[in-house]
Amino acid sequence: MAASRAPTTPPAAAAAADGGIEENAMAILDSSGIKDSRDLHDDRAAFLEAVRSACLAADNPSAPSWRMYDGVFQVLRNSSSLELAVASFHLLMDLGKQYPRTYLTDSDGHQSLVVVKESWLPFLIGNGSRSSEMGGTARISDHLFDPSRFSLLIEAMVEPTNPTDDNNGIKAIENMMLFQYLVNTLEADFVPRHIAYKKSPDWVIFRESLLNMLLGSRKLVFKSFVKDCMYLLLNQFHPEAKDAVEGSIPSEGEAKSASDMDSSLNYLLLESERTLVSLRKLFVMVMELDLIRKEADTLGLTSRADGFRHPIMEVILDELTYNISYLSPFLLAFMEWKWKLEIILQYFSKYCGKGAVRTRRSDNSQQDLKLGSVLSFFSTTTSAKAIVKKMGTEVAQHLLAHAYQVCLSVQSDSSDSTATTEKIGASLQEISCNFISAFQNLRKVAPNIQISPFEKEALFTAATLSRKLKNEER
């Protein structure tokens, strides 16, 4: 996601939309006394269209007020139809792009981070007071997401869904869209901060980020939250899904056609894939945040007030270690190459390296394993046998095959792959030859071990590339 730019409407205007526009829009949403569900549906649809017209489509659009933004979010939370769910989700996404809460401004070649703290948020973090417009914190808490409710949303999504039950199916889609929107909100706050941090490292930039405050809350049991996210990732992953789903959001056409679908099954599958994309984004953001927190710890920039939370990588590795059946499907579903390789290398480090003791103020990154070093542990039958005794042949094969996949992907995609290339620590030809050698030695250690189709494909590719690269050298 690209960093948010300064909104077209100044922050002062963003704080409150034109009073007449707001009152007209909110009057449409006021359903007091309405009993018929069709009338309620029509009023909500009209409200969404009124907000879109006033805040996005007008010649001189006005920024939505707190109440208007909140009203759109409540429609998403209680949509009761696919049409309203998709339309409100799409509107929230568009409003977020047009009126970002966190963005960067350029002044004389210098970028500054701007946070419009009075803007509406779907989260309830800190003291719980977001606005006086609604007349009290208790009413706000009914629909905004505090850390506990965010965790409960993940739990609800993990529960099996019966797509033949219309109400059950619509609620499942609504929950997935809510999750996608919440992750998008976290990302829109995170990305500008990340850019600003690279220019001027300052832990305060991330201490005040929505993601850090959300995950650092005592209301959220972080380990359980990560485990639920991992389980959801495995449930949502469908290998046959098309890449076109990546980064896409429902269009207006989809919003209109959704209500005419005979079954929500196909749409449920589509939203499952979009939710998978959001899950990956969430994992990567937390990993990036943990890396920045580690740097801040090393430099002595954090304090006890920042609290303590286990790094997400530790939780993931523990879960993959104790639930080996999760290992291969998780690595198949998690396609972010840099962090996928990091997970694999840290998994190997539990068994292959002596592992230096890391303290809060130390940096032992120079002792981190590289893939080239890992492959050397399988260079002979004796060394391969020693590793297999600790982690098992099947696990070693899975990890090596996925690590080789990362190498191939980095080779074909040169965008921002410097750090990953350093972690590989050898040329593609060296990696290919050593990868084949490692599997040959593993086969000698365990002659009857089965090789999965994924691993066979990796071996075939390695053999083909190895011959090709050798011929090119001649």
Convert the pLDDT of each residue in 49-81 to its tens digit: 999 999 998 888 889 999 899 999 999 998 888
Residues 179, 116 share a domain: yes
- Report if residue 361 sits inside a domain: no
Residues 184, 170 share a domain: yes
Is residue 396's pLDDT more than 90?
A: yes
- Report if residue 196 sits inside a domain: yes
Between CA 440 and CA 446 the distance in angstroms is 10
Residues 281, 195 share a domain: yes
Identify the pLDDT of residue 473.
74
Residues 225, 111 share a domain: yes
- Report if residue 247 sits inside a domain: no
How large is the average pLDDT for residues 172-197? Answer: 96
Residues 272, 214 share a domain: yes
Residues 190, 85 share a domain: no
Residues 168, 315 share a domain: yes
**Over the chain, what is the mean pLDDT?**
83
Contact 148, 123 (CB under 8 A): no
Buried b (16+ CB within 10 A) or exposed e, 423-445: bbbbebeebbbbbbbbbebbbeb
Identify the pLDDT of residue 131.
42
pLDDT-based confidence at residue 260 (cuts at 50, 70, 90): very low
- Report if residue 198 sits inside a domain: yes
Residues 105, 72 share a domain: no
| CB burial of residue 2 (10 Å; 0-12, 13-18, 19+) | exposed
Of the candidates 198, 188, 184, the residue with the CA atom closest to the CA atom of residue 114: 188
At 446-462, the pLDDT tens digits run: 999 899 999 999 999 99
Residues 77, 53 share a domain: yes
Identify the pLDDT of residue 416.
54
| Count of domains for the chain | 3
Of the candidates 318, 464, 342, 453, the residue with the CA atom closest to the CA atom of residue 398: 453
Identify the pLDDT of residue 373.
93
Residues 168, 81 share a domain: no
Of the candidates 370, 368, 386, the residue with the CA atom closest to the CA atom of residue 378: 386
- Least confident window among 133-147, 232-246, 353-367: 353-367
Output the six-digit token pair for 301: 């920039």
Residues 165, 180 share a domain: yes
Rounded to a whole number of angstroms, the distance between the first and last alpha carbons of the chain is: 43
Amino acid sitting at position 292: I
Domain of 380?
Answer: 336-354+368-473
Identify the pLDDT of residue 136.
43
Residues 458, 394 share a domain: yes
Between CA 192 and CA 194 the distance in angstroms is 5
How large is the average pLDDT for residues 339-358? Answer: 79
State how far the alpha carbon of 13 is from the alpha carbons of 52, 57, 61, 64, 312, in Å: 17, 17, 11, 9, 39
* Last-in-domain residue among 99, 132, 151: 99
Is residue 14's pLDDT more than 60?
A: no
How large is the average pLDDT for residues 81-110? Answer: 92
Between CA 294 and CA 301 the distance in angstroms is 10
- Report if residue 59 sits inside a domain: yes
Between CA 143 and CA 349 the distance in angstroms is 44
Is residue 123's pLDDT more than 60?
A: yes
- Report if residue 55 sits inside a domain: yes
Identify the pLDDT of residue 20.
62
- Report if residue 14 sits inside a domain: no
Within 10 Å of residue 468's Cβ, how many Cβ atoms? 11
The number of helices, as runs of H, and strands, as runs of E, in the chain is 22, 2
- Report if residue 249 sits inside a domain: no
pLDDT-based confidence at residue 7 (cuts at 50, 70, 90): low
